Amino acid sequence: MKKTIFVLLLIVLIVIGLLIAVQVKNQLVAQELIVVNEVNLGEVNLSTKKEFKIQLTNNTGKDFEIAKVYTSCGCTGVLVDESESTSFVIKPKETIYVKLEFDPSSMHQEGDNIDHEVYVLVSNPVEKEYVVKILGEVI
């Protein structure tokens, strides 16, 4: 009898432990900002500037402070007015689009593969740099 009770208690404890672990994992996942991994611009004409957007979604219950958005190449720039800044806050359950522009004429030539990166630096709640690959081909 005592042995049965012990085994039952052990099973209950294991189940509770598993439930807590799943909950903690979900909370950790929910801390993340949802940022696309890559944007494919497809074929971009050498003489044409190509505008594109990066989607940032905050599915958590906290504000996300974006410290800055920057790029790996001078040919790719964030589209903001001079008075504006690339730092902003994404409210809970909010989705924001960052507008960027790729200008192939400045650094590319026909037939080049586009392989650049855009960085989104989150300063709060945790500091993290998200990387978005920008792909395509210059024609």
- Residues 20-59 interacting with other proteins (rule: CB under 8 A): none
- For residue 94 the two structure tokens come to 């909010």
Specify the 3-state DSSP secondary structure of 4.
helix
Binding mask 91-110 for other proteins (x = CB under 8 A): ---------------xxxx-
CB of 24 to other proteins, least distance (A): 31
Taking the C-alpha atoms of residue 50 and residue 60, their distance in angstroms, rounded to an integer, is 32
- The answer to whether the beta carbons of residues 100 and 120 sit under 8 Å apart is no
Taking the C-alpha atoms of residue 46 and residue 109, their distance in angstroms, rounded to an integer, is 7
Check binding of 71 to other proteins (CB under 8 A): yes
Check binding of 72 to other proteins (CB under 8 A): yes
Q: By CB under 8 A, name the binding residues for other proteins.
A: 68, 70-75, 86, 106-109, 112-113, 115-117, 119, 138
